[in-house]
């Protein structure tokens, strides 16, 4: 059998997903397996047990990231790595993260079935606390690994009951000895459900992820003057909400001016509004609202930023009201590596799956890996684009297809040793 004809075992992948989903299963068919809980420990133990059965060695680092290794012929080469996370949201699904880890395991099981040796080693990782639900920051394990923040910062993070990451890692027995970030990576792939509606909308099986959107978060405050809604004529008002509403329209309009056209992927959202004093017969004197701007490159995010600020200035001049825009967070755009994008697209083409380039609007561990090594991602559709919800669902055929793409993308990097 040629390597080209090699396929993963979709039923075995599905069975592994369903078995892992039993740990922390919710009555509505989802999963609640929060980071560093007893259930997380059980999930970790199950996955690492499977890895050992598949002949892999296991290393755990000081933040609890686990690396499962299948040696290659030349073990001086850095491994071709895949991975994701197995922690979930409180009302999480069976596939978010878990799919990326178990797809990696299925790749190894498939290579074992056929006795295929690779030149470079292959590794499957799961990263600690990707979800950020119990402990902030999100993508904690991969973030420490990529030195986005320190191990001490992560250790000190507390849940709502005051329990720290360090104490909880110790309790479940997952503080390893390896210093985070010292583990070599040759290249990195991550398979993930899309968590959005684009692939399903286009009836496409494989999303070739070209990168992750850059994000800027702002707090915007419009200051007017409270006054009685009855006696104050329209011409003499300083209505902060009326001005804020116009600027909120601009946030959406600026995103529409950057449509998904192969270049831009503008997204603009106002998700939080506070009106002061929030009384039905008082003209609002102050409105504070959030602005979330996203686009596929930092230049495009900057262009949207300039656009919104110009609109704010124009509205402030026209109304005579003060408008203040404060940047509160900034995550740069993370384009993926051309070689990895090509490897994913080629694997999908060779396998005969429909594909399209997509961007990720959500963060993933792969964002941090992309700072360290050539990185790519594979998306598959999920039902109605829904995740972070117990009804999250994905089709077995899509899960199988994504895993086959992962197999061939990884083999192209790790190189098969001729039998």
Residues making contact with Zn ion (CB under 5 A): 96-97
Query: Rounded CA gap, 356 and 347, in Å?
Result: 13
For the CB of residue 345, give the shortest distance to Zn ion in the complex, in Å: 22
For the CB of residue 5, give the shortest distance to Zn ion in the complex, in Å: 31
For the CB of residue 131, give the shortest distance to Zn ion in the complex, in Å: 7
151 conformational bin, left if phi > 0, alpha if psi -120 to 50, beta if neither: alpha
Find the angle CA(258)-CA(203)-CA(13) to the nearest 5 degrees. 115
Peptide bond into 137 cis (omega under 30): yes
| DSSP symbols for 265-323 | --EEE---EEEES--TTEE--EEEEEEEEEESSHHHHHHHHHHHHHHHHHHHHHH--EE
| CB closer to Zn ion, 141 vs 264 | 141
For the CB of residue 96, give the shortest distance to Zn ion in the complex, in Å: 4
Query: Rounded CA gap, 165 and 93, in Å?
Result: 23
Name the residue with tokens 């990185």: 375
| CB closer to Zn ion, 79 vs 97 | 97
| CB closer to Zn ion, 97 vs 104 | 97
| CB closer to Zn ion, 244 vs 367 | 367
| CB closer to Zn ion, 106 vs 305 | 106
Tell me the residue number closest to Zn ion, measured at CB: 97
For the CB of residue 406, give the shortest distance to Zn ion in the complex, in Å: 15
* Contact partners, residue 166, CB within 8 Å, separation at least 6: 155, 156, 175
| CB closer to Zn ion, 70 vs 398 | 398
For the CB of residue 139, give the shortest distance to Zn ion in the complex, in Å: 9
In three-state secondary structure terms, 195 is coil
């Amino acid at each position: 059998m040629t390597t080209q004809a090699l396929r993963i075992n979709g039923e075995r992948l599905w069975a592994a997903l369903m078995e892992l989903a039993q740990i922390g299963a919710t009555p509505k068919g989802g999963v609640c397996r929060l980071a560093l809980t007893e259930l997380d420990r059980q999930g970790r133990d199950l996955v690492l047990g499977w890895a050992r059965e598949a002949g892999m060695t296991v290393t755990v680092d000081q933040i609890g990231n686990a690396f499962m290794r299948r040696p290659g012929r030349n073990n001086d080469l850095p491994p071709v790595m895949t991975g994701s996370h197995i922690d979930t949201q409180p009302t999480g699904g069976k596939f978010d993260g878990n799919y990326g880890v178990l797809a990696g395991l299925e790749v190894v099981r498939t290579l074992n079935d056929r006795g295929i040796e690779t030149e470079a080693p292959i590794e499957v990782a799961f990263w600690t606390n990707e979800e950020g639900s119990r402990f902030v920051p999100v993508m904690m394990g991969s973030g420490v690994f990529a030195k986005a923040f320190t191990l001490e910062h992560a250790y000190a993070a507390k849940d709502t009951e005051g329990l720290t990451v360090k104490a909880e890692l110790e309790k479940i027995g997952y503080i390893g000895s390896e210093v985070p970030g010292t583990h070599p990576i040759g290249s990195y792939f991550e398979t993930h459900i899309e968590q959005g509606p684009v692939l399903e909308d286009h009836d496409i099986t494989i999303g070739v992820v070209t990168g992750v959107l850059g994000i800027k978060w702002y707090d915007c405050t419009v200051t007017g003057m409270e006054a009685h809604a009855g006696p104050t004529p329209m011409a003499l008002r300083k209505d902060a909400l009326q001005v804020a509403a116009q600027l909120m329209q601009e946030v959406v309009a600026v995103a529409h001016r950057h449509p998904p056209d192969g270049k831009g992927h503008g997204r603009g959202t106002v998700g939080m509004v506070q009106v002061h004093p929030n009384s039905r017969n008082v003209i609002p004197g102050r409105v504070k609202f959030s602005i979330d701007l996203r686009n596929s490159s930092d230049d495009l995010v900057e262009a949207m930023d300039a656009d919104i600020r110009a609109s704010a200035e124009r509205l402030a001049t026209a109304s005579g009201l003060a408008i203040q825009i404060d940047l509160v967070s900034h995550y740069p755009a993370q384009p993926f590596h051309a070689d990895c994008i090509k490897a994913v697209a080629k694997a999908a083409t060779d396998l005969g799956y429909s594909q399209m380039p997509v961007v990720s609007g959500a963060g993933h561990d792969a964002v941090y890996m992309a700072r360290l090594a050539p990185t790519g991602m594979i998306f598959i559709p999920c039902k109605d684009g829904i995740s972070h919800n117990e009804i999250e669902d994905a089709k077995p055929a899509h899960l199988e297809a994504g895993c086959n793409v992962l197999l061939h993308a990884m083999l192209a990097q790790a190189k098969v040793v001729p039998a």
